[in-house]
Copies of this chain bind each other. A is one copy, B any other.
Amino acid sequence: MQEFDLIARIRQRAATRSDVLLGIGDDAALLQPPADMQLVVAMDTLNAGVHFPPDTAPADIGWKALAVNLSDLAAMGATPAWCVLSLSLPEADAGFVDGFLDGFLKLASQHDVALVGGDTTRGPLSVCVAVHGVVEPGMALRRDGARMGDDVWISGTLGDAAAALAQWKAGSAMTPQLRERLDRPTPRVALGRALRGIATSCIDVSDGLLADLGHVCKTSSVGADIDIDALPASSGLRAAFDADTRRILQASGGDDYELCFTAPPSMRDAIARLASEQTPLTRIGCIVAGNGVICDGFDAGRAGYQHFT
């Protein structure tokens, strides 16, 4: 098995779209962006042992590599369109690639994303994906739009992925329901789209709620006051951890890929409708004067996961 064989293997399985003029197999992909739309581009890398436990199934690695990128598009309110993939492998392992593609392409298919190029190289196991989406001019959800008096909202539940990681680091068996959240996060693409015109700012929770909301505060020049007891928890998390540990995981744990957004109180009815139609949405606090996140009266500082600490 050689590099070109791996690429052929990938090419054979990659679906296409009518706006892909030239996909895998040339020096670059050739794409036809829709008229009068803006282009949204995100890129994220997953390294073995850093972003996923080394024994993670290839299909889960594939799923997650695309999911974390789609989550960035979701946080912008963009519609996904195309992606490119760079896969570094210690050796040309067809079984790994097949499993990886099972997960990667299953999620791609759910969001009508075409894999249009990239490369395969020899190196320590690492996956880099760049994803491209489109959004109507002026409609992108940004980090800089939070305004005093806005509510702060979160989708789904928080802390499950970090809980699974904590179990793994402690050498314990991972609770299946928690591990599923770590291995197969759900990018909130439809929710992000639905929040155009409703949310004033949005971010996906990848580094932890407090850290990520801190980015919104800094970029928007505001503060946020969060009620830690309001943070939503799954039944699996409640069953596996005591209340104190659970609150830390919910507030500071990364890798949940839920959307944290702000919206004026006038939008509460619209948000309640969204929550009943799509994904549970919980109001967890409000935007205040200041320059950071206050959590139960304490300055939350920069309490999220950072890669180099």
**Contact assessment for A27 and B143 in the assembled complex, using a CB-CB cutoff below 8 Å:** yes
Chain B CB within 8 A of A190 CB: no
Please, which residue of chain B has its CB at the minimum distance from the CB of A28?
B42
Contact of A27 among B76, B92, B121, B132 (CB under 8 A): B76
- Is A75 an interface position by the 8 A CB rule? yes
Task: List the B residue with the shortest CB-CB distance to A32.
Answer: B38
A117 at the interface (CB under 8 A from B): yes
Say which one of A44-52, A54-62, A156-164, A278-286 lies at the interface with B.
A44-52
- Indicate which residue in B30, B40, B72, B121 contacts A140 across the interface (CB closer than 8 Å): B30
Q: B41, B47, B82: which contacts A31 (Cβ < 8 A)?
A: B41
Q: How far is the CB of A44 from chain B (nearest CB, A)?
A: 5
Residue on B nearest A69 in the bound complex, by CB: B28
Q: Please name all residues of chain B whose beta carbon is closer than 8 Å to the beta carbon of A120 when the two chains form the complex.
A: 307-308
CA distance A51 to B306 in the complex (A): 28
Copies in the complex: 2
- A39: contacting residue among B30, B48, B119, CB under 8 A: B30
CB of A221 within 8 Å of the partner chain:
no
Q: Shortest CB–CB separation between residue A237 and chain B, in angstroms?
A: 25
Contact A25/B308 with A30-B135, A41-B31 known, Cβ cut-off 8 Å: no
A111 within 8 A of B: no
In the assembled complex, the Cα of A142 lies from the Cα of B25 at a distance in Å of: 10
| From B1, B29, B132, B203, contact of A42 by CB (8 A) | B29
Q: Which of A269-309 contact B (CB under 8 A)?
A: 302, 306-309
List 21 A-B residue pairs with CB atoms under 8 Å apart, sorted by A's residue number: A2-B307, A27-B76, A27-B203, A27-B204, A28-B78, A28-B133, A29-B41, A29-B42, A30-B40, A30-B142, A31-B38, A31-B41, A32-B38, A33-B33, A41-B84, A41-B117, A43-B84, A43-B119, A45-B121, A50-B123, A92-B308
